[in-house]
Chain A
Amino acid sequence: MGKPRVAIVLGSTCAGCDYSLLDLGPTVLDVLANVELVYWPTGADFKLSDLESVPDGSVDLTLYEGAITNSDNEELAKLVRRKSKAVIAYGSCACFGGIPGLANVSIADDIMKTAYIGTWSTDNKRSILPQPLSKVDSKHLVLPVTYDTIRALDQVIPVEYYMPGCPPPLSYIEQALVAALSGKLPPPGHVFASERSLCDECKRTKEKKNLTAIKRFHEIIPDSQRCLLEQGILCMGPATRGGCKAPCVDNNIPCRGCMGPTPEALDQGAKMLSALASILALDQETGVSEDRLIPLIQQLKDPLGTFYRFGLPKSMFRRVIPRR
C-alpha cells in the first residue's frame, strides 16, 4: 500500500491540538514525509476545495479537532465523514465538547448579549449583535449560525476513534500515526488513552480517604507528596482517564478531567460526585446531622463547572435546562 492519506480538520477549536504537533519537533518532518497530507489548513496552504475534490472514502485517517458549535462545523464534519475511512475525535473538544462545551450552561442568544452588549468596554448603544445575514450599504455579508447547544463530534457523525486530552499527549498521536502507517489501526471504538484513571500514574502517596473539609486550591499550600484529594482539594483524577502522566497534579494543581470519563463511566461528573460524597466526613457521618452536612457540602462552590469542565455536552443531561 502507498502512503496513508491523512487529513487534519478543524471544527470549533482553539487549534491547540494540531499546534501542539509542532512540539513533535523534527519528528514532524518524518511524519510529513511518510503520510500523504490531504488537508491541513493550519500547517499548509490548503483550501476546502482540495478536500471536496478527493473521492469519497479515499482518506485513510482524519483527525477532527474541535467541537460542533455552528453550521460550518457541522457541514465540515459531515464532509470528512463522507471522505474518510476512519475518523478520530482528536482532542477533548471533539471527544466531549471540551471547554467550549461549557457554553451549554446557556443559549447562544444569552451568550451573544453578554459578549456584545454586556461587557464594560463595549460601546453598543444600538444593541447590535452579529447576524447570520447582514447588509452593509447594499452588500450582503454572511456569518455561520451559532448553535444553542454545543455538541461533541460523535453527536453529529459516527466516529471510529477517540483521542482525548487538552491537548492529547503526543505519545498517542505517534501511536495513532504509527498504526496508520503500518495499516494496523485498532478496532473501532478504541480510545487513545489509559484504561485506568489518573491515580494509577499519579506519583503522590495515598493514605486514608476521609475528607473533613473541601478546600479550594488557592486556600492552602498542599503537601506536594500526598494525594491532593486526601488534603481536601477536589481533584478529578480518580474519575478521569490517565495517559497524560498527571502534569497538572505534579504542579500542585488539581486535575480538571480533560482526559474524560473512564471506560465504565456513563457520566464523569456523577462518578466523581459519588466518590466525593462517599468520603466526605466519613469518620463522623453517623454524627453529622443534616444541618451540619449541607454547609460541608456547599464548600464545593461550583459542582457543574468542576465535574463537567471538559465534558458538559457528553454529560448525561448534555446541557443546562434552558429557562423558557
Chain B
Amino acid sequence: MASNFEPRIVVFACNWCSYAGMDLAGTSRMLYPANLRVVRLMCSGRLEPEHILYAFKAGADGVLVTGCHPGDCHYISGNYKTRKRIRLLEQLLAQFGLEKERLRLEWISASEGEIFTRVAKEFTEKIRALGPSSLKQEKMFAPLISARAAGGGGD
C-alpha cells in the first residue's frame, strides 16, 4: 500500500559544501523527513555511477547527489565531473526504464542548510508519490516466462 510506504533515500554529499550545508541545517534545527541517509565523500567528484546503481540495486527508492555550486568546488572542478557523469547516467537510466525523478542532482553550499531542507522535503514527497522502486521487486529478475497470448495455439 502506497499510504504507509516510507521511501529509502540515499544522499551523496561532498565534505566541504553540501555535507557542511546539511550540518548547518542541523545546527539551525531545521526539520526534514527521516528518510534520507547520507554518504560523505570528500568531493562529489569521487562519486561513481556504479555507486548510484548499487544504491538502487540495494533498495534505494531515490538517490540524491549533492555537491558544491559550479565554481565553488573545493577541488576546483570535481562538481563539473559529477554533473557530466550524472547527466550521462540519466540517459542510461532512461533506457533501463527507471523513472528519471528517482535520481536528483543538487548544488548545496555550506550556507544553504535551508535549501537542503527544502530539497529533502520535496524529494521525499516526490519519491513517496512515485512509490517503491521497481528494482526492489525481485520478481523483476524472475526468469519465468510471461503469460503468452494464446494466439491460435495448437489446433
Residues of A at under 8 Å CB distance from B?
68, 74, 105, 107-109, 112-113, 117, 126-129, 131-136, 141, 145-149, 151, 265-267, 269-271, 273-274, 276-278, 280-281, 285-286, 290, 293-294, 297-298, 300, 302-304, 307, 316-324
Those of B97-155 within 8 Å (CB) of chain A: 97-98, 134-135, 140-149, 151-155
Q: Which 7 A-B pairs have the closest CB atoms?
A: A134-B154, A321-B97, A135-B154, A304-B95, A270-B50, A128-B152, A147-B143
Measured between C-beta atoms, what is the minimum distance from A246 to chain B in Å? 25
Measured between C-beta atoms, what is the minimum distance from B31 to chain A in Å? 31
On whether A151 and B57 interact (CB within 8 A), knowing A278-B84, A303-B95, the answer reads no
A-B contact count (CB 8 A): 147
Contacts of B142 in A (CB 8 A): 148-149
Interface SS majority for chain A: mixed
B side interface size, CB within 8 A:
41
Chain B residue with minimal CB distance to A294? B87
Cα distance, A307 to B96, chains bound together (Å)? 12
Contacts of A297 in B (CB 8 A): 84, 87-88, 91
Measured between C-beta atoms, what is the minimum distance from A294 to chain B in Å? 6
Contact B70 A286 (CB under 8 A): yes
B37 near A: Cβ within 8 Å? no
Cα distance, A277 to B91, chains bound together (Å)? 12
Contact B97 A320 (CB under 8 A): yes
Measured between C-beta atoms, what is the minimum distance from B99 to chain A in Å? 9
Contact A285 B152 (CB under 8 A): no
Contact A317 B57 (CB under 8 A): yes
